[in-house]
Amino acid sequence: MKIVVAPDSLKGCLGADAAARALAAGIKRVLPSAEVTRVPLADGGEGTIAALRMHLPRATDIPYESGHYLLFEEGERYGALLEAAQLLGLHNEAMESVAILRRGSGALGRCLIAAFASNTSRCLVGLGGTATNDGGLGMLMALGLCATDRRGRTVSPDLAGLIQTRTVDSDALDPGLRGRDLIVLNDVEAPLNGPRGATLEFGPQKGLAGKRLAAAEDAMTRFADLCADAFGADYSLRPGAGAAGGLGFAFLLIGAQLRSGADFVIEAADLGATLRDADWVVTAEGRADRQTLSGKLPLRVAQLARGLNVPICLIAGAVDENARPALKEHFDRVLAASPQGAPDEAIAAHGAAWLSAAAERWAAGL
């Protein structure tokens, strides 16, 4: 029997490689003779650099602020891979230490400038897992955008500044962006605004609630209108515009191509070839809920597996029981690794052991 384990990272708990090892160990305890192939993956969020590193030629880490980016050879020039979650992630000290209103995406803009200064012909940017919800304002201001409040004063490059923004001017944007091959690997297909958009869908998990949530949504809508006038196009409804607190929208404004991060990583890892002679595939993520079905990695793995007639199991750190019926339309088995109602702190502390035990339970039922 051949079983492929192809997990995402469990945010704040386990990297994808560690998750794959935990799953494989649990399966082998029950099925010692099974061939278990590990394929750690990512969807543009946390762990994207780690998942793609082995598939990029002669890759080198370049330290930058609170994280790093990757330079890899592309002929006589270089490509660069940036991961927004490293610079702006929920578990980044620079983000955790400030309130949601003061979190901005400027570090990603500065890192983008540094990467393009390294004889780089192409830049890949993994989006997802950010603590920001500023519509990409901070990143755009780092690249030269001018944004002012109703009194004509420059706003702060964060969510508070987004709420105060009344005018934007794109004339001073970094001219070095023109003609660049910029590919954004987004982890969700959400639009910028609305009930499934950046703020209302994902804002609460970043700390937005009540009046602040409503104010942020109003500000995002106003920002989209201002940018439509300044840039001559409205990208707010494009799938992926709402990724990473609206960073997908900001990247569309500067001419980036948006691609499914999960699809990109799956293709780079050639997962389809690995699955062709598999009997089962097991994928994993931190929490399975309705967001799983909005383009997250487990869904993309399930769609590939279905096309190859390979049954698939999803093991998540936690499962939203309200979403289980919808999840079971795409996965043959859905298991929660943690006990019902376990707090996030317990899941983080016991993640590897619980994930391995869940894989063991699943394998015992084959």
For the chain, 366 residues long, give each residue's pLDDT as a single digit of tens. Answer: 999 999 999 877 899 999 999 999 999 999 999 999 999 999 999 899 999 998 888 899 998 887 889 999 888 788 999 999 999 998 788 888 899 999 999 999 999 999 988 888 899 999 988 999 999 999 999 999 999 999 999 999 999 999 999 999 999 887 767 667 999 999 888 999 999 999 999 999 999 999 999 999 999 999 999 999 999 999 999 999 999 999 999 999 999 999 999 999 999 999 999 999 999 999 999 999 988 987 789 999 999 999 999 999 999 999 999 999 999 999 999 999 988 767 777 777 788 999 999 999 999 999
Q: Which of these three, 199, 229, 262, is where a domain ends?
A: 262
In the prediction, which pLDDT does 179 show? 63
Domain count, the chain: 2
Is 269 part of any domain?
no
Is 276 part of any domain?
no
Residues 343 and 213 in one domain: no
**CA distances from residue 54 to 24, 143, 268, 313 in whole angstroms, order as listed:** 20, 30, 9, 25
Residues 195 and 306 in one domain: no
Q: What distance lies between CA 24 and its chain's CA centroid?
A: 24
CATH code of 95's domain: 3.90.1510.10
CATH code of 19's domain: 3.40.50.10350
Residues 159 and 299 in one domain: no
Domain that holds residue 76: 48-262
Residues 100 and 22 in one domain: no
Q: Residues 138-174, buried b or exposed e (16+ Cβ, 10 A)? A: bbbbbbbbbbbeeeeeebbbbbbbbbbbeebebeebb
Residues 67 and 168 in one domain: yes
In the prediction, which pLDDT does 42 show? 95
Q: Which of these three, 214, 230, 262, is where a domain ends?
A: 262
Residue type, 317: G
Residues 74 and 207 in one domain: yes
Ordered DSSP codes for 219-253: HHHHHHHHHHHHHS---TTSTTTTHHHHHHHHHHH
Residues 16 and 58 in one domain: no
Residues 37 and 77 in one domain: no
Indicate the SS3 state at residue 184. strand
Residues 18 and 57 in one domain: no
Residues 194 and 115 in one domain: yes
pTM of structure: 0.90
